[in-house]
Amino acid sequence: MKKIYLTAAVAAAFSLNTMAQSNSFDYNVDRFADIQVLRYKVPGLDGLSLDQKRYVYYLSEAALYGRDILFDQHGKYNLQIRQVLEAIYQNYKGNKNDKEFLALEKYLKQVWFANGIHHHYSTDKFTPEFSQKFFVKQVRALNKKSLPLAKGESVDKFIATISKVIFDPAYMAKRVNQAAGCDLVLTSANNLYEGVTQKEVEDYYNSVKVANDPTPISYGLNAKVVKKNGKVVEQVYKVGGLYGEAIEKIVYNLNKALQYAESDKQRTYIRALIDYYTTGDLKKFDEYSILWAEDTNCVVDFINGFIESYDDPLGMTGAWESIVNFKNQEASHRTQVISENAQWFEDNSPVDARFKKKEVKGVSAKVITAAILAGDAYPATPIGINLPNADWIRASHGSKSVTIENITDAYDEVASGNGLNDEFAYSKAECDLMAKHLTLADKLHTDLHECLGHGSGQLLPGVDPNALLEHGSTLEETRADLFALYYMADAKMLELGIFKDAETYKAEYYKYIMNGLMTQNTRIELGKDIEEAHMRNRKLISEWCYQKGKKDNVIEYVKRDGKTYIRINDYVKLRVLFGDLLAEVQRIKSEGDYQAGKKLVEDYAVKIDRALHKEVLDRYKALDIAPYKGFVNPVYTAVKDAEGNITDVTISYDESYVDQMLRYSRTYSPLTSKK
Ligand code: ZN
């Protein structure tokens, strides 16, 4: 996985953040089905120079023009369905509180969110809650000119085809089928292959692949595979090729952006990208990717292209996406300060001297602010990215790893309002503590975990790095988390100016333990064990500290009105326990002590108390929190002078989900407007 999503594991980090900041920015935009739509802030935009703003503006335009591509990649009829639903939605003359109309609205919102008729996460086809009769009646009521008929298609034929696609549950049932034993190409409803079997596709690529190529192109990344005159061929995504009308718009705006690039380096890879879009030549995409990966000093940066291949059951074709972003200087400064002090942290850690690195180098990951999300990154979006994907480029030219802080901030803020803290925290004191400190404490926890935790410590000579086998990843995450937890409470945090308040760490300690012992179990079915490595790690740490701290009553379960709460009675002793466990886990890793590692995991990390689990699930269910979230973009407006030059770029946050989707369909629809 090159992309980090707010998955079950990561979500735990956000599940309990109380943010009671009294600003009026409303993060909640819309709620339907299993989805909550949010908006995100773009702090720091005004700190950019005018040229950088112009650069962001044109890159954003280039991003938005790719929207139709993803809809079409996701399914052959998606664009037609989107258009006809939008036409019905906007021309409907009946009662808008009618059940059928409301069901159609919900379905349209789902289609927008998933960029097609299949769920963005499960890839199962949506089940419409309006009737086929209602749908057909509405289509017939539309002016024929507003119907997205294919070339030569009659209205009757259109209705028959689209009705089957929408209403027949067995037809095109799953967008990406990964079930072993079937023809994955034939049974996947996406539009990356047509008229070909899995075997034909595999034979085709085997015939064109160069053997033993140390720098292979990403075969199939930018093409649909079809049969033409009985022969298997690629329809390449490029100017003049498949999706040419959209790619032309993207290229036009990349050319505009080119004038305002920050450096020659940037200009070089934008030209390489344009070259690739123009020719479809994947060698040029590699050239672009290398230049892009090596440009680590830019402020404004972007992704634009056919990137991730999770949507292809064969893992080759890239889903189109774009993210425009700029460096978050303040947050990047935090990771830099920590990295610069890496040796101090290593020298002062509670682990045995034999297991410490003599010379340690911190990794400083860039923290970014997203300015626009598009294609595969919209509305559901990752919180971190690590690209490019080609293994040989990563190995020889490096990769860029970024955290998107304004997106994680938005998740944080929204989590505050969902009632989770009020439900699970022991008292108002803990709620207030988290409200005041958790945002910063959480970020620092991630920084310490990523920049120092994983890189600290050393193996004794001759120890196999994989000695811990199936428990290796759990124990590795445990080690990194403990390193972070231990140091958060250190006076060094105040000395380095990272914390201003000596209490800050307590917010993280409280959330961590409550999450590990209780709230993370909301993501596990009753009766099942904890399996995922990060979740096991959190349970291991929390449970171990609970057990070992029992005699001093460090952590306590308190029952009140039939509900269970966690109380931390001694934060200082809890830190000592974190240090003790860190020393032990580092020993296990350094010595490759598989048996001891296995015992730790089995004793503390896997089992959940069934009664408590049931209670947590019941309390969580009552909160009715949407399992999936996504974002609308802000609206950028280019202020122009009489000659048409951009003199400023302004931002606004007031667009609704429906308005944004309809505006995008109106304005950025190169693939639908031609019909
Ligand atoms: Zn980690």
Measured between alpha carbons, how far is 269 from 276 in angstroms, rounded to an integer? 10
13 Cα to the center of ligand 1, angstroms = 12
Residues 6 or more apart whose Cβ sits within 8 Å of residue 212: none
449 Cα to the center of ligand 1, angstroms = 6
Comparing CA positions, the residue from 30, 37, 146 lying closest to residue 85 is 146
DSSP 513-579: HHHHHTGGGGGS-TTPPP-SHHHHHHHHHHHHHHHHTGGGT-EEEEEETTEEEEEES-HHHHHHHHH
479 Cα to the center of ligand 1, angstroms = 9
HEC letters along 57-76: HHHHHHHHCCHHHHHHHHCC
What is the per-residue pLDDT across 238-267, written as a single tens digit (0 to 9) for each?
Answer: 999 999 999 999 999 999 999 999 999 999
497 Cα to the center of ligand 1, angstroms = 25
What is the per-residue pLDDT across 522-564, written as a single tens digit (0 to 9) for each?
Answer: 888 899 999 888 999 999 999 999 999 999 999 999 999 999 9
Determine the distance from the C-alpha atom of residue 370 to the mean position of all C-alpha atoms in its chain, rounded to a whole number.
12
360 Cα to the center of ligand 1, angstroms = 18
List strand residue ranges (DSSP E) for 285-376, in order. Answer: 300-308, 319-327, 366-375
Residue 422, both tokens: 């009020």
44 Cα to the center of ligand 1, angstroms = 28
The CA-to-CA distance between both ends of the chain, in Å, stands at: 37
What is the per-residue pLDDT across 590-625, written as a single tens digit (0 to 9) for each?
Answer: 999 999 999 999 999 999 999 999 999 999 999 988
12 Cα to the center of ligand 1, angstroms = 14
540 Cα to the center of ligand 1, angstroms = 15
Residues lower than pLDDT 50 in the chain: 1-2, 7-22, 674-675
Q: Give, in degrees to the nearest 5, the angle at Cα 552 between 548 and 553.
A: 90
- 123 three-state secondary structure: coil
- 236 three-state secondary structure: strand
528 Cα to the center of ligand 1, angstroms = 24
By CB atoms closer than 10 A (0-12, 13-18, 19+), residue 467 is middle
351 Cα to the center of ligand 1, angstroms = 19
Q: Give, in degrees to the nearest 5, the angle at Cα 564 between 560 and 568.
A: 95
106 Cα to the center of ligand 1, angstroms = 38
pLDDT over 90 for what percent of the chain? 78
588 Cα to the center of ligand 1, angstroms = 17
293 Cα to the center of ligand 1, angstroms = 22
477 Cα to the center of ligand 1, angstroms = 5
Measured between alpha carbons, how far is 74 from 610 in angstroms, rounded to an integer? 41
42 Cα to the center of ligand 1, angstroms = 27
383 Cα to the center of ligand 1, angstroms = 15
451 Cα to the center of ligand 1, angstroms = 10
Q: Cis omega (within 30 of 0) on the bond before 169?
A: no
600 Cα to the center of ligand 1, angstroms = 18
454 Cα to the center of ligand 1, angstroms = 7
Determine the distance from the C-alpha atom of residue 546 to the mean position of all C-alpha atoms in its chain, rounded to a whole number.
33
Measured between alpha carbons, how far is 368 from 308 in angstroms, rounded to an integer? 20
571 Cα to the center of ligand 1, angstroms = 24
The amino acid at 552: D
Residues 6 or more apart whose Cβ sits within 8 Å of residue 519: 12, 15, 16, 420, 424, 616, 620
183 Cα to the center of ligand 1, angstroms = 36
68 Cα to the center of ligand 1, angstroms = 36
416 Cα to the center of ligand 1, angstroms = 24
537 Cα to the center of ligand 1, angstroms = 10
286 Cα to the center of ligand 1, angstroms = 29
445 Cα to the center of ligand 1, angstroms = 11
- 366 three-state secondary structure: strand
Strands 231-236 and 223-228: antiparallel
Ligand 1 ion: nearby residues, β-carbon < 5 Å: 477, 480
586 Cα to the center of ligand 1, angstroms = 15
356 Cα to the center of ligand 1, angstroms = 19
Beta-carbon neighbour count of residue 631 at 10 Å?
23
Measured between alpha carbons, how far is 638 from 60 in angstroms, rounded to an integer? 11
436 Cα to the center of ligand 1, angstroms = 26
386 Cα to the center of ligand 1, angstroms = 14
Measured between alpha carbons, how far is 532 from 165 in angstroms, rounded to an integer? 36
6 Cα to the center of ligand 1, angstroms = 14
589 Cα to the center of ligand 1, angstroms = 15
Element (H, E) at 29: strand 28-32
269 Cα to the center of ligand 1, angstroms = 32
The amino acid at 502: A
The amino acid at 416: S
326 Cα to the center of ligand 1, angstroms = 24
